Chains A and B, each alone.
Chain A
Amino acid sequence: MRQVEFIRSNTFLWAAAAAAALALFVAGLFAFIYWKIDDYLVVRSDRMIATQLNFMAELPPGRLNDAIYDHLKQDSRGVQYAGLFDAAGTRLAGNIERLPPHLDLGGRVRSVRLAQVGSSAVRDAVVKAGARRLSNGHILVLGRNVDETGEISSVVGQALVLGLLPAFCLCLLAGAWLSVRAQRRVEQVNETVQRIVAGDLRERLPKSNADDPFARLATIVNGMLDEMETTINALAGVGNDIAHDLRTPLTRVRLALERGRTHAATLEDLQDIVEKAMVGIDQSLAIVTALLRLAEIESSSRKAGFGDVALDEILRQVCDVYEPIAEDKDIEIDVEIDRKVQVRGDRDLLFEAIANLVDNAVKFTPAGGTVTLELVSDDRAVLVRVSDTGPGIGEWEREAVLRRFYRSDKMRNTPGVGLGLSLVAAIVKLHGFCLTICPAPGGRVEIFAEKGEAPREATASETGRVLHASLASM
Chain B
Amino acid sequence: MSARTSEPVLRHKRQRLAARWANTMTQILLIEDDAETADVIVSELTERGFEVRWAPDGIGGLDCARESSPDALIVDRMLPGMDGLTVIEALRKDQVRTPVLVLSALGAVDDRVRGLRAGGDDYLTKPFALIELVARVEALLRRPTDSRETTLHAGPLELDLIERTARRGEREIDLLPREFRLLEYMMRRSDQLLTRAMLLEEVWNYKFVPATTNLIDVHMGRLRHKVDGPGETQLIHNVRGSGFVLRVR
Contacts and interface: CB of A to CB of B under 8 A. Distances in A.
Interface in B205-223: 205-215, 218-219, 221-222
For this complex, into which size category does the number of interface residues on chain B fall?
Answer: 20 to 34
Contact of A320 (B109, B111, B204, B210): B204
B213 A415 contact: yes
Given A289-B127, A296-B106, A473-B205, A305 B215 contact: no
Contact of B212 (A292, A304, A359): A359
Contacts of A416: 211
Contacts of B218: 324-325, 328
A467 to B, nearest CB: 13
Main SS of chain A's interface residues? Answer: helix
A396 B214 CA distance: 31
Given A292-B107, A304-B111, A474-B181, A351 B208 contact: yes
Contacts, number: 68
A267 interface: no
B110 interface: yes
Interface in A66-116: none
A324 B212 contact: no
25 contacts: A275-B241, A293-B106, A296-B106, A304-B110, A305-B111, A305-B114, A320-B177, A320-B178, A320-B204, A321-B204, A321-B215, A321-B219, A322-B215, A324-B221, A325-B218, A328-B218, A348-B208, A351-B208, A352-B208, A355-B210, A359-B211, A416-B211, A474-B180, A474-B181, A474-B184
A59 interface: no
A415 B213 CA distance: 9
Given A295-B107, A325-B215, A359 B210 contact: yes
A363 interface: yes
Nearest to B178: A320
Interface of B: 106-107, 109-111, 114, 125, 127, 177-178, 180-181, 184, 204-215, 218-219, 221-222, 241
A3 interface: no
A296 B110 CA distance: 10
A431 B137 CA distance: 35
Contacts of B127: 285, 289
Contacts of B222: 324
Contacts of A473: 205
| Interchain residue pairs A-B with the least CB separation, the first 4 | A292-B106, A352-B208, A359-B211, A324-B218
Given A351-B206, A355-B210, A415-B213, 14 more contacts: A275-B241, A292-B107, A296-B106, A296-B107, A317-B204, A321-B219, A324-B218, A328-B218, A347-B206, A348-B206, A352-B208, A363-B211, A417-B211, A474-B184
A474 to B, nearest CB: 5
A347 B207 CA distance: 10
Given A317-B204, A317-B206, A356 B211 contact: yes
Most interface-central of A321, A347, A348, A417 (chain B CB within 10 A): A321
Interface in A442-460: none
A420 interface: yes
Nearest to B184: A474
A402 to B, nearest CB: 15
